[in-house]
Amino acid sequence: MFSHTMMELPLTLTTLHRRMGEVLGHVEVVSRRPDKSFHTTTFGAIAARAEKLARGLLAMGIARGDRVATLMWNHAEHLEAYLGIPLAGAVIHTLNLRLHPDDIAYIANDAADRVLIVDAVLLPLYEKFADKVRFERVIVVGRDYEAFLDAAPPLALPALAESDPLGMCYTSGTTGRPKGVVYSHRSTLLHSLVSALPDSLRLSRSDTLFPVVPMFHVNAWGLPYTAALVGARLAFPGPHLDPVSLLEVMESQHVTIAAGVPTLWLGIREALDKEPARWKLHPGLTMIVGGAAAPERLIRDFDRQGLSLLHAWGMTETSPIGLVSRLPPELDDAPEALRYQLRAKQGVPPPLVEIAIRKDGETPPADGRSSGELLVRAPWVAARYSSNNTPDRWSDDGYFRTGDVAHRDAHGFVQLTDRTADLIKSGGEWIASQELENALMGHPAVREAAVIGLAHPKWSERPLAVVVKKPDAEVTEAELRAYLAEKFIKFWLPDVFVFTDTIPRTSTGKFQKTTLRAQFAGYQWPGTTD
Ligand code: ADP
């Protein structure tokens, strides 16, 4: 028998943590404070403080699998919690501070969080739901957190198994009630390793990584762990997320790679357009964009400035990396139009991720047109939810059913066309709302556009487009319809275009289509009577 010929060291944060102290001790972590000053510390200091946090938690009786919540911005202390809580054998549960206080309370109770670590500046938010939750202890960063660390007794940290839970996040509930996803030590380590690969997010010791995506949203896409694993220098925005503040960090900290949702980069593009000569960013700065589709125009606009958008797809349930849109070398000489078209797709699965596209149990041809539901499996994809189990989200052959509709082309690039819940059924045929949105956002006068299906007396549903124009830009409904008519068959064209100032968004920056649909409920289509 040849089994067990190699060491079976568990894939846990223990090894990553040790390395941070012993090998990567001087790598810097820079955080923006509420007063906008910059605070610099090192991996070595963070590793030591994370260990104290773990010992403090153990001393107060936190046991294996217990949940410890955080309500924090992105900064060094949050990274300490990312490490220290799991090192104690406990589970870090990152609460989403953009949710309604009642929803935060629901989620904290659902997860049975025992302790809360909260930023002093977020205490007013905590107070809004404090009477609805029962934390045994609330530790405030900026008040008693330092004393808590200093008082930690010299207890030994527990030996961890790689299947032990490490952290949990709730889905943002764009399409249903939030559900808890629990990541393990093993899933987190493997996800970090593959995320860092050159054909994935490409992260190394030479980088300064700027995770703007919140640490309470799918662990900032796992990036703090990836940086800790490879030794990338980290810059954190703290609570300052306006475009100018972000540009200040990118410039002053020589950021080489940043990450956030499309709206964020829309804001950055506008700030750069306004004062093109003001900012000196790292040439070739890469901005990872995910969470919602990256409009092709945005990718083109940034290229012109020497900055590069890297499009990726994922979900809370997938840790999140599932697809990355990096062009392979055989497309080096492909026509520019094709290259942009592919970069605006969600991309190809990185190693260890397997995908399938299925429609009525069949795999549609990879012709870049025929779509079906996207399924995914990987060592970092959830096998179940923490509660409210919904087994129908998993296929019999072990894939997670994403609820996203997608097709694949001859290059293997996957493109999402919609979420199943947002598809519009008109006269018995499906219309993909996201495809229309992506096309509309390619119009030079359009800043943002969302398309929703509304009940229609004759067609069952028809599309309505909600459009935000760029500042100082003008465009008419007829022009937009003619623009879309070049790309789509007639019945796909929205019947009505409504111009507004903003589109409602979820706590993680996606279009809130449920709110939009509610806003337009009972809409009287022109020329119809009910
Ligand atoms: P929620 O499911 O509540 O929106 P998540 O943050 O887990 O919360 O979102 C995952 C979903 O976001 C995906 O299923 C997909 O619909 C959408 N999404 C993520 N990345 C992209 C992308 N690059 N392009 C289009 N949609 C995306």
Q: What is the CATH number of the domain that holds 183?
A: 3.40.50.12780
Single out the residue of 457, 476, 456 nearest to residue 467, CA to CA. 476
- Helix (H) / strand (E) containing 483: helix 477-485
Q: What is the pLDDT of residues 326-337, one digit of tens each?
A: 999 999 999 999
Asked about 525 being catalytic, the answer comes back as no
Q: Distances from the Cα of 389 to the Cαs of 19, 96, 178, 179, in angstroms? A: 37, 22, 12, 9
Best of 309, 405, 510 to mutate for ligand 1, by most ligand atoms within 8 A of CB?
510
Of the candidates 376, 408, 440, which is a domain's last residue? 408
Considering the domain boundaries, does residue 529 fall inside one? no
Residue whose pair of structure tokens reads 């934390």 in the numeric block: 135
Do 125 and 160 belong to one domain?
yes
Considering the domain boundaries, does residue 191 fall inside one? yes
Q: For the chain, what is the domain count?
A: 2
Do 51 and 172 belong to one domain?
yes
Do 118 and 34 belong to one domain?
yes
Residue 290 Cβ inside 6 Å of ligand 1? The answer reads: yes
Of the candidates 361, 385, 408, which is a domain's last residue? 408
Do 286 and 314 belong to one domain?
yes
Do 283 and 397 belong to one domain?
yes
Q: What is the rounded CA–CA span in Å between residue 70 and residue 48? A: 19
Q: What is the position in ligand 1's atom list of the atom closest to the CA of 311?
A: 23
Considering the domain boundaries, does residue 3 fall inside one? no
Of the candidates 357, 373, 408, which is a domain's last residue? 408
Do 476 and 373 belong to one domain?
no
| Residue ID of nearest Cα to ligand 1 atom 24 | 293
Do 345 and 244 belong to one domain?
yes
Do 444 and 374 belong to one domain?
no
Residue whose pair of structure tokens reads 């475009």 in the numeric block: 243
Do 116 and 151 belong to one domain?
yes
CATH number at residue 450: 3.30.300.30
| pLDDT in the model for residue 458 | 83
Do 196 and 250 belong to one domain?
yes
Asked about 171 being catalytic, the answer comes back as yes
Residue ranges of the chain with pLDDT lower than 70?
1-2, 173-176, 388, 528-530
Do 326 and 435 belong to one domain?
no
- Domain region containing 144: 13-408
Considering the domain boundaries, does residue 413 fall inside one? no
Cβ distance 527 to 309 under 8 Å?
no
Considering the domain boundaries, does residue 315 fall inside one? yes
Do 75 and 158 belong to one domain?
yes
Residue 178 Cβ inside 6 Å of ligand 1? The answer reads: no
Residue 315 Cβ inside 6 Å of ligand 1? The answer reads: yes
Considering the domain boundaries, does residue 96 fall inside one? yes
